Amino acid sequence: MDLSNATLGGLRASGHLCFPYESEDERRRTVVAFVREGLARRERCLYIASEDEQRTFLAELEAAGVPAAAEVARGALLLKTRTETYLRTGCFDPDDALAMMEGFTDQALADGFAGLRATAEASARALDDLWPLVLRYEALLNERLARRPFLGLCRFRAAELAPDRLRDVLRTHPEVLVRGEACPNPFYEHAEVVLGGDDRAHLDWQLHQLRSYQRDRQRLEAGTRAAIEERASAARERDRFLTVLAEELADPLFALKREVHALGVALDETPAVDRLEAAQRHLRRLSAAVDRAREVARAAETEDDSGKPPRG
């Protein structure tokens, strides 16, 4: 399943998402959609991968209708290798990698873009060898770039990650892409909790998350109740209007029908009879409309009073 345009449109300009994908097709569709949306929002998109992977990705973008070569030429799509970025000092240094991402973000803004959108993936072997460093980088990225126009998508092949690694991934990303849905992550922990190794701090954070979840649920329930009441109030107002309208039309309609009938009797076979018959047809239609308005209003009022639709 791919990342939908609706989901992408709802992403903030600043964020840090993990994407534990399950298939190559899911990876391809989601990353293409992620970059395409960034380009549409006038963000610079940074794609970090090997040169072979870059060529494949350019072809995937072109197949999806994105003029990839033109985007590269104007600097909107930036292609970099891991050697040019994460390993530019000769080894992976979390602090240098954080400074690098800040620099890419600053340069994107200086070049007139709305921000930076970046995506990268590391092999399972690299993650195993460098996991403590990767964990530090992922945890600190949230604090270093949280207030900047930076949106990061960290890709992980779910089947290759050991359960403890996947738990760490969840601990360090505020949002998760799960089968096409961008989900707020209740398992996310602040950097000091992830890196501190303090059981008490970890427990305090879990309790904090529980309280936050409860507050969010209460706000949602209150908002839902308010929306239901607002709709019910609007429905009642509509029904009152229909009732008043039907009553206001009823008397003049009856009087008009009486006059038309009397006029028809007086005219008898005159040439005006055809016109009179047409007027009578219109009056019958108007009368039926008034009766129907009354029925709808009464049915709605009965439903509002009983809480159940009336039996018909």
Q: Could you read off the pLDDT of 140-149 as tens digits, one per residue?
A: 999 899 889 9
Domain membership flag for residue 141: yes
pLDDT in the model for residue 286:
76
Q: Are residues 145 and 254 in the same domain?
A: no
Domain membership flag for residue 202: no
- Residue 70's domain is classified under what CATH number? 3.40.50.300
User: CA 15, CA 9: separation in Å to the nearest integer?
Assistant: 13
Q: Are residues 193 and 222 in the same domain?
A: no
User: CA 83, CA 62: separation in Å to the nearest integer?
Assistant: 26
Q: Are residues 226 and 185 in the same domain?
A: no
Q: Are residues 222 and 191 in the same domain?
A: no
pLDDT tens for 261-312 read 776 666 665 556 666 676 777 777 777 777 777 777 677 666 665 554 444 4
Q: Are residues 179 and 283 in the same domain?
A: no
Q: Are residues 135 and 62 in the same domain?
A: yes
pLDDT in the model for residue 10:
62
Domain membership flag for residue 207: no
Asked if residues 184 and 174 have their Cβ atoms less than 8 Å apart, the reply is yes
Q: What is the domain count for the chain?
A: 2
User: CA 236, CA 51: separation in Å to the nearest integer?
Assistant: 65
Q: Which domain holds residue 96?
A: 5-197
Asked if residues 152 and 16 have their Cβ atoms less than 8 Å apart, the reply is yes
Tell me what the mean pLDDT of segment 158-162 comes to: 87
pLDDT tens for 52-80 read 999 999 999 999 999 999 999 999 999 99
pTM for this one? 0.65
Domain membership flag for residue 66: yes
Asked if residues 147 and 105 have their Cβ atoms less than 8 Å apart, the reply is no
Domain membership flag for residue 245: yes
Domain membership flag for residue 312: no
pLDDT in the model for residue 312:
42
pLDDT tens for 23-33 read 999 999 999 99
Domain membership flag for residue 203: no
Beta strands per DSSP E along the chain:
15-21, 44-48, 77-80, 116-121, 150-157, 175-178, 181-184
Among 139, 163, 197, the domain boundary falls at 197
Coil, helix or strand for 183?
strand
Q: Are residues 172 and 53 in the same domain?
A: yes
pLDDT in the model for residue 17:
92
Give the strands of the sheet with 116-121, arranged side by side: 77-80, 44-48, 116-121, 150-157, 15-21, 175-178, 181-184
Among 139, 162, 197, the domain boundary falls at 197
C-alpha 115: how far from chain center:
20
Q: Are residues 29 and 170 in the same domain?
A: yes
Q: Are residues 190 and 272 in the same domain?
A: no
Note every long-range contact of 159-165, with CB atoms under 8 Å and residues 24 or more positions apart, other chains counting: 159/22, 160/124, 161/20, 161/124, 161/127, 165/127, 165/128, 165/131
pLDDT in the model for residue 274:
65
pLDDT at 2 over 50: no
Q: Are residues 43 and 146 in the same domain?
A: yes
Among 197, 225, 250, the domain boundary falls at 197
Euclidean distance between the first and final Cα of the chain, in Å?
A: 45
Angle at 176 between CA 138 and CA 215, to 5 degrees: 105
User: CA 122, CA 101: separation in Å to the nearest integer?
Assistant: 16
Domain membership flag for residue 298: yes
Q: Are residues 185 and 252 in the same domain?
A: no
Averaged pLDDT of the chain: 83
pLDDT tens for 218-254 read 788 878 887 888 888 887 787 777 777 777 777 777 7
> Which two three-digit tokens encode residue 228?
């239901």
Q: Are residues 29 and 174 in the same domain?
A: yes
pLDDT tens for 161-216 read 888 888 899 889 999 988 778 888 888 888 888 887 666 666 676 666 677 767 77
* β-bridge partners, 77: 45
How many angstroms separate the Cα of 136 from the Cα of each of 1, 16, 139? 30, 14, 5
More confident residue, 113 or 287: 113
